[in-house]
């Protein structure tokens, strides 16, 4: 019984990280219907931005985190406004090609600037600290990640449901031409959405890099985890994304219980089963 509880707890903590990876992707798809194939590489890019701030420029970690969020919002806004808006259309193929190209560029630039060596963000003893309750051990950093994921899911739900910006996001998602006729620039709305998505990506990048070392070529693997969490939970649904991350994390921990090499494989099996049985996801977007 204790083993089962430990699998669930560790799966939830791992799933919180996957949910955090996926939240920005869910936002982008929910507003723009855009599948960003460079999503994982943007996570890696922001990891290396944080590494440059803390290790190369010696900026204190707390200030570096604030700067990272500001840089992330500006970068997301600029990428959408100057690049992705030009290929934004009903046809998803142009945006897929452009984001795939961005993925290749980011990986190669990072390898040229930082080499292929993995990097991580030093947090001192905090990354090794943990708490034990009823025989189950949980690290402080995974618990912080879980708290951040829940808080951001609440924040995004509030943003979309209770604010003028959220209403603009939803209206633009439904019919951007009508919104444009009403005097709201869908291009600016898309750019704001991507800026916020990059802030979510920055939070994921910071917490992930504090847990493990990240190399410039890790982007596609992170994209896969984010994509699976979004599909399992339901495209465009923040709580669905959270649930999808939980399901993926628990499935991987069950696989690890049987064999350490089976974790990722078990996650893929759950992903495929959801596609077959419930292709709309566990908690699909309803409005």
pLDDT tens per residue across span 119-138 = 999 887 777 788 888 778 88
- Sorted by where each starts, the structural domains of the chain and their CATH numbers stand as 2-277 (1.10.3470)
- With residue 188 as reference, give the H or E element that holds it: helix 186-211
Q: What does pTM read for this prediction?
A: 0.93
CA dihedral angle for residue 57, residue 62, residue 63, residue 64, rounded to 10 degrees:
50
**Rounded Cα gap, residues 53 and 93, in angstroms:** 36
Cβ-contact 241, 235 below 8 angstroms: no
Comparison of pLDDT for 267 and 125, the residue scoring more: 267
Encode 128-162: b = buried (16+ Cβ within 10 Å), e = exposed: eeeeeeeeeebbebbeebbebbeebbeebeeebee
Structure token pair of residue 256: 């690890």
Map residue 106 onto helix, strand or coil.
Answer: helix
Among the listed residues 234, 232, 236, 237, the one whose alpha carbon sits nearest the alpha carbon of residue 249 = 232
What is the per-residue pLDDT across 180-226, written as a single tens digit (0 to 9) for each? 888 888 999 999 999 999 999 999 999 999 999 999 999 999 999 99
Map residue 195 onto helix, strand or coil.
Answer: helix
Supply the DSSP symbol for 119.
B
């Amino acid at each position: 019984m204790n083993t089962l509880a430990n699998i669930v707890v560790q799966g939830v903590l791992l799933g919180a990280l996957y949910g955090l990876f996926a939240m920005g992707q869910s936002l982008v798809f929910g507003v723009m219907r855009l599948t960003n194939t460079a999503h994982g590489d943007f996570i890696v890019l922001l990891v290396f931005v944080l590494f440059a701030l803390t290790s190369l420029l010696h900026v204190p970690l707390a200030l570096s985190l604030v700067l990272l969020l500001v840089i992330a919002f500006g970068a997301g806004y600029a990428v959408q406004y100057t690049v992705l808006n030009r290929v934004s259309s009903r046809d998803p193929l142009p945006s897929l090609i452009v984001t795939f190209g961005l993925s290749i560029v980011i990986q190669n630039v990072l390898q040229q600037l930082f080499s292929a060596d993995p990097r991580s963000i030093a947090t001192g003893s905090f990354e090794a600290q943990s708490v034990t309750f009823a025989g189950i051990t949980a690290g402080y950093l995974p618990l912080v990640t879980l708290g951040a994921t829940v808080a951001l899911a609440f924040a995004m739900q509030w943003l979309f449901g209770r604010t003028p910006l959220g209403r603009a996001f939803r209206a633009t998602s439904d019919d951007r031409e009508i919104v444009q006729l009403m005097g709201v620039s869908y291009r600016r709305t898309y750019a704001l959405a991507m800026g916020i998505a990059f802030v979510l990506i920055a939070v994921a990048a910071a917490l992930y890099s504090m847990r493990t070392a990240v190399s410039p070529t890790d982007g596609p693997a992170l994209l896969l985890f984010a994509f699976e969490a979004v599909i399992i939970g339901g495209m465009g649904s923040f709580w669905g994304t959270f649930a999808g991350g939980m399901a993926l994390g628990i499935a991987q921990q069950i696989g690890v219980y049987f064999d350490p090499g089976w974790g990722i494989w078990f996650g893929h099996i759950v992903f495929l089963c959801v596609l077959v049985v419930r292709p709309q996801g566990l908690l699909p977007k309803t409005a």
